A and B are shown apart, each in its own frame.
Chain A
Amino acid sequence: MTMDEIFARAKSILVIWTADVNPENLPIFQDVVQTKAKQASTAFENVEMLVESGRSSSSFDIILFGLVSKRNTHIDIDILNELFRLLRPNGHLIIHIEHTKQSQIIDQFKMCGFSSCNPLDTNSSFLIENKDDDIKKFGSLWLCQKPSFDIGYSVPLRSTTTDSRMGQISSSSTTTTTTDELLDENDRKKPDVKKYDCGTTSTGVRKACKNCSCGLAQELEQEEHTAAKQTVKSSCGSCYLGDAFRCAGCPSRGLPPFKPGERVTLPTMSDV
C-alpha cells in the first residue's frame, strides 16, 4: 500500500507528542493529517501520559510518534511495546530516527514484534515539516507494520502427568524421551575426565574433536609445534624414518619418511 492509501483507509490515528512541542503546531498538524486521512478520527497523547492513559488494545490504524516536535523523541522498549499493543493488526507506526541510532532501534522494533520496518522516501515529508533541518538531514522516516495476527487467545496446556514407575514403557512410543525414564540421577552425571587413571605418566590433555570446527585443533597444534621447534637439532639420527621412530624434538616431525641423506625440507608453516 502507498502512504496515501494507508492514510486514506485509516479510521483512527494516534499522534504522540512531547513537552517540547510548540503548542501552535499541534492543530496545524492535525489539519494536515486530516486532509490525508479523511475518514479518520485523530487522538493526541503526550508521551509521558501514554502508559498511564491505558487505552484499549488494537485501537489505532496509524500511530505517528514524535513527528510534531523539532527534535526527535527518545523511544525505548517499553514505549514501543505500548505502541505495539495500541496498534490494530496490520496497523502502522511512523517514526523519525537518526541514522546513528537506526540499527539499535530497528532491533527493538523486531523485538516487539513488528513484522516489517521500511524507510520512507521524502514524499512523506509533510509529516516532518516541523523538524529542524539538521534533524531531517541526518535521519529518516520509518514505517513499521504490526503483523496480522491478533494476540489474545490462549491454548490450554495438555495434562502432563508422567508415570514415573520403571517398567511402564509404552509400547507405542519409540522416542528416547520415554526411555529416559530408565535413567536416574547418577546416570545423568558425566564422568570426571581428570579422574581417569591412565596408569602412565601422561598428564590430562585437551583433545580436539574429530570434526573440530571451533579452532581448538589449530590451537593445540600450535602448542605442540612451539614445543617441538624449541629443539632444533636431532639427537637420534633417525629423522629419515617416519614419525614412529623419531624422537620428540625431531625437526622432521610431522613429515613422511624420506631417504637417508635427502635434504630435509620443512614445510613453511604460516600458522605460528
Chain B
Amino acid sequence: MLLEILFGSQTGTAEDVSERFSCMARSTDVECRVRSLDSIRSIEDLGTYILFIVSTTGDGEEPENMRQFWRIIMKKSLSLIPSILSHIHYGLIGLGDSTYPKFNFVAKKLSKRLEQLGAQAICDKVLADEQHPHGIDGCIDQTFTKIFWKTFGDLIGRELQPRMDQRLPSKYQIQWIDDYEKDSSSSQISINNSKIPPGYTSVPLISNTRVTSLDHWQDVRLLEFDTNLPYKCGDVAVILPQCSLTSVHLLANLLNIENKLHKNFIASNEISSLSMTVLELFRDYLHITRIPSRSFFEKLMWFSNDERERERLVEFLQPENIDDLYTYCHRPRRTSVEVLQDFPHTASCIPFNYVFDFFSLIRPRSFSIASSPKIHQNRVQLLVAIVRYKTIIALYREGLCSNYLCRLQPNEHILMRISSSFNLINDNQPAIMIGPGTGVAPFRGWILERSLNDQLLNMLFFGCRYRTKDAYIENDLLKDTINLIYIPAYSRDQEEKIYVQHKIIEYGHLVWEWIKHKQARIYLAGNAKQVPEQVSDALKDVFIKYGHMTNEQADVYLREMERTQQFQRETWS
C-alpha cells in the first residue's frame, strides 16, 4: 500500500509541500514515494492512492514538469471509457496566488477532470493562496492536512498520526573523498572537474551595462555574452545561477564545516549519487538563500539541544502562533541562512548529511533573449531587471539569479542553455508588439531583424515609468534605419497613470486596420499579474468600437485569434 505524492512545480514550492507531506507520511509508517508529474508516461502509471500537489504559474498555466501529464489526462479518448479512474483515491492541493486573475486554474481544472474520469476524492481539495495571511503552508494546514490524514487513515483502515517532530533518516549518505583516494584506480565514482550539467554550455560575459538612469530606483542591465549557441528571436536563455560566496561562507561557518569547504564528497542513496566539493554544493547546487518553509523549522527541532532556541522553535511551530512565524520569516523574506544565524547552536548540531533535507536545489531561471542572431552574430543579449528591495531586515533582499547576473564581470563564465518559447512568426504579416518593461526584450532583437526588410511593418507599444529614466528601448529602436511605429506609455510622467492598454485604445483604429485588413499578428510579453487581462480588455474595446462588435463577439474574436496564433502571449509570474 503506497501513497504516491505527485507534484507539478515551477519554482519549487509544490515540491517543498510534497517533501513535507512525505515526511509526515513516513513519520506514521505510511510508505510513500514523491515524484514529479512528468514521470507519468501513461494513465496506467497512476497508482491507487495519490496526493496531487499542483501549482499554477504564468498566466494560468501548468508548470513545465506537468505538461506531459496534462496532455495525457486531458486526452479526449479517456472520456470514452466509463469511470476509467474509479480505482483511484486522491487528495489535491492547489498552489496559487490570488493577485493573479487565473487563481489556481490548474488545480481547478485537474479537479474537474479527475471527477469527470471517475476518480474519488479522499477529502475536499485545498486551493492554497500566497495571499493568505499565513501563506501556503498556513492555508494548507488550516483546511486540509488534518482531515486528509484522518480520512485517508479511515480508508486504509489505520489510525494515522503524522508528526513532524521525530527525526527521519536523511536523504543521502555521505562519504568523504580523501586526497589519496582520488588517485586510486579502484575508485568507483570519478570526480568530474568540469561539472557542467547536461544540456548547458559555459559562456563568457562580454559586457554588463546598466540601461536605466542612475537616479531611477530600478536597476536594469543589458548583458552581452559571447557564444555561438544557435537561437532565434523569441527564444529564452536558461541560466543556472550561483549563490554568493558571502552566503556560502556564512553557512559553512554556522554548520562548522569551513575546514572542509574544498573537500570532495560523494552523496548517495538507492536512487542516485552525486559528488562535488562542499563549496560547490553550497554555491552551485543547493539554494541556501531560499526562504524556508514550515518544514525547515520542523526539521530544526530534530537537532536543537539549546534550551532557549528549542523553546522558541516550539513556540513558532504552535498552530496558534502561525502568525508570529510568518511575521518573523516569510513577511520580511528572511533567508534560510539568516534563520540559522538566529539559531546558531541548533545550526551547529545539524550533521552535514542532512543539508540535503534542509535545502532544495537551485532552479534555473529563464530570460527572453533581447538580441537577434542575424544582427548580433555570436552574441546573446539579455535585458535583466535586478530584484532588490528592502524589508524590515537590514540587508537588502535580493533575487538569486538577477543579482548573480548583476555581479558578473567581463570574462566570467555562466552556465546557459537555449530553449524555445515565444513563436515569433517570420512571414510578411505586420506585427503589433506589446512589451511593457523588460517584456520588450524579445521584440528588441526581432524588430532590428525585421528592419532588414523595409517592406515589413512593425508597431510597438512599450510601457515604462519615466521617459528620461527607464525608456531603455529607445536607444536601440528609434533610428532612421528602423522601420517602426513606436508608441510609448510613460506611466509616471504625468499625473494620471498611462499604461500600454490606454495607448492601445488611443491608437485603436490603427490597430484595428492592421488586424482586420492586414492580418497583423499581435504579440504580448510581460508580467502575468495584470498586463494580460488589461491588454485583452483593451483589445476587446478596440474590436467593439472599430469592429462594431458586441462584448460577446469581441470575446469570441479574441479567443479565435489566440487559437489561430494570431494573438500570442508570453507572460511570467
Contact = CB atoms under 8 A, between A and B. Distances in A.
**Are A and B co-members of a single complex?**
yes
Chain B interface residue number, banded: 35 or more
A126 to B, nearest CB: 25
A155 B521 CA distance: 13
A194 B332 CA distance: 21
Interface in A171-204: 171, 174-180, 182-183, 187, 190-191, 193, 196-202, 204
A115 B133 contact: no
Contact of A152 (B328, B506, B517, B519): B517
Contacts of A152: 517
B407 interface: no
B204 interface: no
A253 B394 CA distance: 8
B109 A254 contact: no
B322 interface: yes
A147 B390 contact: no
Interface stretch (B24-32, B372-380, B444-452, B556-564): B556-564
Interface stretch (A10-18, A44-52, A129-137, A239-247): A239-247
B133 A205 contact: yes
Interface residues of A, number: 73
Contact of A256 (B105, B338, B563): B338
A244 B342 contact: yes
Contact of A243 (B112, B116, B334, B564): B334
Interface in B103-136: 103, 105, 108-109, 112-113, 116, 127, 129-134
A111 B507 contact: yes
A64 B392 CA distance: 64
B328 A218 contact: no
Contacts of B518: 149
Given A160-B560, A253-B392, A254-B394, A110 B132 contact: no
B485 A110 contact: yes
Q: Which of A180, A205, A207, A253 has the most CB of B within 10 A?
A: A207
Interface in B503-554: 506-507, 510, 513, 516-519, 529
The A interface, classified by DSSP as helix, strand, loop or mixed, is: loop
Contacts of B556: 160, 162
B320 interface: yes
Interface in A222-272: 224-225, 228, 241-245, 253-257, 267, 269, 271
A218 B323 contact: no
A183 B112 contact: yes
A169 B76 contact: yes
A245 B109 CA distance: 44
8 contacts: A110-B507, A153-B517, A167-B79, A183-B112, A200-B133, A200-B320, A221-B392, A254-B392
Given A115-B485, A193-B129, 6 more contacts: A149-B518, A199-B319, A209-B529, A221-B390, A245-B308, A254-B394
Interface of B: 60-62, 67, 70-71, 74-77, 79, 97-99, 101, 103, 105, 108-109, 112-113, 116, 127, 129-134, 138-139, 142, 217-218, 308, 312, 316, 319-323, 326, 328, 331-334, 338-339, 341-344, 385, 387, 389-394, 397, 399, 437, 455, 457, 483, 485, 487, 506-507, 510, 513, 516-519, 529, 556-557, 559-560, 562-564
